[in-house]
Structure 1
Amino acid sequence: MAICYDESRMIEFTYTPEVPEDIRVVVGIDFGTTYSGFAYAHVESCDVISNEDWPGKKGLKKIPTVLQYDENFEQAILWGFDAVASEPTKRRKKDKSTPSRPIELFKLHLGDIPKEQKPALPSNITAGRTITDYLRKMDFFRMVRLIATVPAEFTEDTKSIMRYCMYEANLINNSGTQNLKFTTEPEAAAVHCMKEFNQHGLKTGDKYLVVDCGGGTIDLTVRKLLDNNRLGEDTERSGDFCGGTFVDKEFLKFLEAKVGRYAMDIFRIKHYSQLSYMIQQFCERVKTRFTGEESEFRKYSLDIEKTCPALKQYVSGSAIDELEEEDWEINISFETVKSFFDPVVSKILQLISIQLDKSKCTVMFLVGGFSESKYLQQRIKQRFSKCKVVIPPYPMTSIARGAVMYGLDMDAIKNRVLKWTYGVAVYPEFEEGDPPLRKRSDGSIEKFCLMAKRDAQVEVNQRFSNTMLPTKPKQTGMLFKLYYTAKETAQFCDEPEMHKLGEFRVDLPDTHLGLDRPVTFDLCFGAMEIIAIAKNKTNGKVHRTTFKLDL
């Protein structure tokens, strides 16, 4: 498909046919909600390496997905660990600028979630800009193939936005380059797990479930091992926003109940670094150690004066008396910590149950940073005792590493299951029984014409075709409007849950032929990005799509 986001700038994204390119290195990017990372491999050796060299830190496989701009939000001046560790009032010696409040969790703006769950952004900063500015900090070398991952539950627009942001971040030279490919996070994890097949007795025809437990999202996919070490998708991939950071949110809700909502709101705005440090201490001392066994639980006391002293000045009313009685220490019991985990874990268990009901699997792989939680592992093993639960090597970096493996051998994926129903707008004549209010001035009605149905299993590069004719003899063009929906079928293009993927125009000269000017319209699936192609059968001219999206 082709994309143009800003008409005034006329940036046109056009797909070109696959051509041989001098690919020397494959880079897999795991752009995460809370932490991001990348892995790479030289094509000659195929050895996958996780990057561990970051500004301000070495030896860690991921970096916080956090940015800080200057006080006027004109330039991103800090990122990653530097953005988390810096005080809002501290000035940098190099540029003498005052950092703004750090911006985090901006990836959530790509998801179809309630607005209140998305982080507030400054009025002059868009989600697209934060993503672009963050990706720009990742300085890759040229002559590479980039494999970018997206969560399973994100809409089709996500890949378009990510392609645009990578182009703006100068990670790719050509906006329509075929050197940038996409895969879903669970698919990358599924490829990463292939090295573990022999060890766990998986053979051709067996199915396995991959549960990617990240910071913001949980993604699941059931894969089937086919001949020649190829993978097929057995059920529609699924996911939800219930990753490890939602345990942190439960902790913050608990703290808010102790100190008051006003105190927490002001503290979050004015003292972000202390808030970040407090959460970090909670994660290190409580969250990562929690096993669900009370005998193994170490009592934890949050000392406000030591951990987050600025919070004290905003506490008011009866909360002051209660906290002063306890010397500004808040004891957090085993049951309280368990209550932080349980709402999140329950959602994950439900997602797993739904997938296993659809497809019986003998092995389940847990990957992602949150998969290292002993409590989560215990609950999953307890609930699904008939399924072997495996935590493969490098669970935190499995997405980036799997993306690299996919980039080295893109034939590893033989087929996928469509997550959406796709179609195009058509304009037949209005007939008796059609809704009267939908009748157009020219006597036609706009309807949704099904092209490919949700839950269909498609081979790589499989095409779905339809032939269409102009509705008027003197018509000089045909406008294709492409839509997708979570429903299996639809009648109209403005129904609930319907999304517009984009539109493009096909020229129709030769008006002397009247209505006899057929156009074939193809949707090519299999690759993670959809390619839409229209061919004028009269003159043989081929058109590719030009979609327009707002960030």
Structure 2
Amino acid sequence: MSFLDYTIRVVVGIEFGVKYSSFAYAHLCSLNDIVVNDYWPECIGCVKIPTVLKYDESSNLMSWGHSALSQSQRSYRKKTSFDIKSVKLVENFLLYLSKMENKPYLPEGLDYKTAITDYLREMSNFVKDTLRTRWSDIDFYKNVLIILQVPVECDNKAKAIMRECAYNAGLISYKDSSNLYFITKHEAASIYCNMKVLREFNISVGSSFMIVDTSADAIDIIIRTLLENNELGDISGRIEDPCGGNSVDEEFLNFLSRKVGQSAINLLKENHYGQLQYMIKDFCENCKFKFTGQDRDFSYELDFTDICRAIIQYVKDPEREQMEYQEWLIDVTFEDIKAMFDPVIERILRLINTQLNAVSSCKAILLIGGFSQSMYLQKRIKEEFSQKVTNIIIPASPSMINVRGAVQYGLMLPEMLNKSTKLSITLRVFEKTYGIKTTRKWNPGDPMERKLPDGMINIFLRIAKQGDEIPVNTGISMIFSSSFLSRNSLDLFVTNEHDVKYCDSPGVSKIGILDISTLSILSNSAISVTLFFDNMKIKAIVQDVNVRTGWKYEKVFDNIY
């Protein structure tokens, strides 16, 4: 089944995020009418739903999304003691598809594939019901195209796992269904910004622009170039850092811990996670997204007896005596709130500045993602960069750009398939062996004449071997410690041999120098070099990953061979 059969009538974009998820849809008869769902169980008017599952002690699914976190505040007001139920809340399970070493906790007896399948099943059922109310004659498995947004780090193996889970969840009728496509948030955001946002600001062909995606759990910054025929150049720089909107929430909890004691916050998180999230939600709605940094009379009052009564039982003296005196009210002042924001925003400004310094010019900064709704963040970014960048753009509903972009991608697919563009899955073959020169400690088995004065030795580190086959939209990577680097560049070599030891071995030639001086490489970094095909040209991506902070910087080198 394909677009050539003209069976697709509705496109659904699903943002399956680590912290939050959403979906949007459009009918092919109304291409400009992309509808973002804002009606969820337990929450009307919300466009996103928490990526959370609740299981009982036997690992049977009890609820998902808002329902998994909701707890009746009224029931707590009627009790002087608090029952702790044997439930398992599961979050962050999508991170198991990444290559991170320290995977998040999963309860005993539950694996990540089960969690992904369970969540997709609930999402699938809800999407089907929603579409059925709009178009009763739609056959979901014949007439609906699903564009599923996956994390940027998902490789082919991770996508295969996601497809299997989608099939087991009933999202597609058979595993290899062509009615399911994957897209990354970078691709989705870039497509929507190009088609719906950049045109309004007359960004000219050849201009570079920056997308600053400030989600709940991280900030992700990429730079792209606008090409002719509304096409986009490859990502020429990327920084990712775990300083998203949740970082402000963490500062809020740190502030509360100084008022009620860290142990009270820990016990609340462990035993009444739903109330903790309800309290954070109230803080976000009434403080975080209303704070401008200008009105010094702005404040936020937290009443534990109304918002989070369960915490009262865990507060001990001397904090308890003080809170009883204050009648369990906390007045969060302007300065308190500003102190929660500033460390996070200062880090975001530094990251944006790093990206700007890495390009010759940037015509626009587009601020998207959930945290971009913060008026204080918007104000600080405009103050800092308005002299450097002509257009600082906050699109309407910035938190929905990615899911709208997924739908836009689906609406464009028929034309893209007919033009035989980059969706081709044809394999490309490396005709030669590629590697870089790195430095390691000299070992007794190495030639004595190659030993350097500092006890090291230069070697050929192979990345791609002659005969390796990969799809055009994937690459072959090599990850190594920054301690193997001796200068601010990487020398790239090629040979017809499958296995060589040294860069000056017979038949080895240097074909390029990858300048990495802008990567700010630190001693606790890991370096990733990826070779991939773009049409018939080979390109390289060098990525610097700070293993302590998770900060990533990425640079693309065009047409190296």
Task: Please give the TM-score of this superposition, normalised by the length of structure 2.
Answer: 0.67
Please say if residues 187 and 221 of structure 1, whose CA atoms lie closer than 8 Å, have aligned partners that are also in contact: no
C-alpha separation between the residues in 1 aligned to 2:367 and 2:349? Answer: 12
> Structure 1 residue 228: deviation in Å?
1.0
Counterpart in the other structure of 2:405: 402
- Contact conserved, 1:414 with 1:459, CA < 8 A, in 2? no
Determine helix, strand or coil for the equivalent of 1:247: helix
Quick one: distance in 2 between partners of 1:181 and 1:311?
45
In the other structure, the counterpart of 2:462 is 449
Partner deviation per Cα, 1:289-336 (whole Å, 9 max, x = no partner): 1111143x4222222222222212112232222323322222212122
How far the C-alpha of 1:354 sits from its partner, in A, is: 1.9
* CA distance in 1 between partners of 2:381 and 2:202 (Å): 21
SS in 2 for 1:232: coil
User: Hey, what does 2:105 align to over in structure 1?
Assistant: 120
Distance 1:310 1:276 in 2: 12
Please give the alpha-carbon distance, in whole angstroms, between the structure 1 residues aligned to 2:529 and 2:207.
37
Counterpart residue identity of residue 300, structure 2: Y
Percent of aligned pairs with the same residue? 38
Q: C-alpha displacement at 1:29, in angstroms?
A: 1.4
Give yes or no for contact 2:433–2:496 (8 Å, CA) kept in 1: no
Conserved 8 A contact 1:413-1:460 = no
Aligned 8 A contact 1:462 1:525 in 2: no
Q: Does 1:43 align with 2:28?
A: yes
1:2-401 equivalence runs, <5 A: 22-47=7-32, 48-73=34-59, 75-86=60-71, 100-111=87-98, 115=102, 120-139=105-124, 140=128, 141-143=140-142, 144-152=144-152, 158-194=158-194, 195-295=196-296, 297-359=297-359, 360-386=361-387, 387=389, 388-401=391-404
Q: Which moved more, 1:204-213 or 1:176-185?
A: 176-185
Counterpart in the other structure of 2:545: none
The structural deviation recorded for 1:66 is: 1.9
CA gap 1:470/1:459 in 2 versus in 1, 3 angstroms? closer
State the shift of 1:436 in Å. 5.8
CA-atom RMSD, angstroms?
Answer: 4.3
In the superposition, relative to structure 1, how do residues 225 and 524 fare at CA in structure 2: closer, same or farther (>3 Å)? closer
**Is there any run of 5+ residues in structure 1 with no aligned partner, and where?**
1-16, 91-97, 417-421, 427-432, 440-445, 453-457, 472-486, 489-495, 502-521, 527-551
Q: Tell which has more relative contact order, 1 or 2 (C-alpha 8 A, sep 6+).
A: 1
State the alpha-carbon separation in 1 of the partners of residues 157 and 446 from structure 2.
28
Structure showing the higher helix proportion among its residues: 2
Change (3 A) 1:78 1:99: farther
The answer (yes or no) to whether the contact 2:73–2:307 under 8 Å persists in 1 is no
Deviations 1:128-158 (A, max 9, x none): 3222211111225223333222344667765
Amino acid at match of 2:291: F
Contact 1:77 1:99 survives alignment (8 Å): no
| Inter-partner Cα distance in structure 2 for 1:347 and 1:159 | 32
Are the structure 2 counterparts of residues 186 and 136 from structure 1 closer, same or farther at C-alpha, using a change threshold of 3 Å? same
Tell me if structure 1 keeps the 8 A contact 2:211–2:365: yes
Q: Which residue in 1 is equivalent to 2:485? A: none
Task: Give the TM-score normalised by structure 1.
Answer: 0.68
Once residues 41 and 93 of structure 2 are traced to their aligned partners in structure 1, the CA distance between those partners, rounded to angstroms, is: 21
* AA in 2 matched with 1:219: D
- Describe the SS at the equivalent of 2:386: coil
Aligned residues: 438
8 Å Cα contact 1:152-1:239 kept in structure 2: no
Q: Partners in 2 of 1:177 and 1:53 — Cα distance?
A: 28
Query: Do the aligned residues in 1 keep the contact of 2:433 with 2:495 (CA within 8 Å)?
Result: no
